[in-house]
Amino acid sequence: MPAKVVQLNQSFSDDEALVFVPPGKYQLAYIGYETKWIFSAQKLYMHFRIVTQGPHFGKILTRYYGVQIIGNAGKSGRFSAGWKGDLMSEYVSLFNQLPKRKTEVPIKPYKNVVILGRVSTVKKKRNQRSYPELLHHSKIAELIRVEK
C-alpha cells in the first residue's frame, strides 16, 4: 500500500537559512514548485520535505532542473522540459509514463507519494569557487524511486 503523505503549510524561500543534512538517501514528500530565472538560466525548483524519521525530519530541500519558462516565472509557473533532460528522465523513471507533450509534465503524480531521493552537499559556487564550510548546504541531487 502506498505511503500516505500529510500536506503541511510551509513556505519555501531562498531567503531562509541554508539547510544542511548529511549526504545520503532520504524519503521525501513533494510540497510545491516554482519557476525562476537564475543567472540568465531558466530553472524549475521542486521543493520537498524530508519525511525520513530522525533529526532531519521536516527539513525542506530543493531539486533543481533546467527548463524553458512559458510566460511569467513564479510559484506554479508554466514550463517546458526537454525530452532528454533530467526532469523528463526522472519523471519517466518514477512514474513509468511519458507526458503527451514536453510542456505538460504533470505535477499531480508527485503529490501524496513518498519519493526516495539522493541528497548531496553544495560546496562550490556556480563559478567553481569554494564556499566557506559554514555556507555548505544540501540539495536533492536525484529522485530515485517512488516508495511503496
> pTM of the full predicted structure?
0.86
User: What integer pLDDT is reported at residue 8 of this predicted model?
Assistant: 46
Would you say residue 29 lies in a domain? yes
How many domains, the chain? 1
What residue numbers bound the domain in which 137 lies? 24-146
Q: Is 10 a member of any domain? A: no
SS3 category, 133: helix
In a domain, 2, yes or no: no
Percent of the chain as helix, strand, coil, to the nearest 5: 10, 40, 50
Question: What's the half-sphere exposure (Cβ side, CA atoms, 13 Å) at 48?
Answer: 32
Would you say residue 16 lies in a domain? no
Residue-by-residue pLDDT tens, the chain, 148 positions: 445 454 444 445 554 578 999 999 999 999 999 999 988 899 999 999 999 999 999 999 999 999 999 999 999 899 999 999 999 999 999 999 999 999 989 999 999 999 999 999 999 988 899 999 999 999 999 999 999 7
pLDDT of residue 46: 96
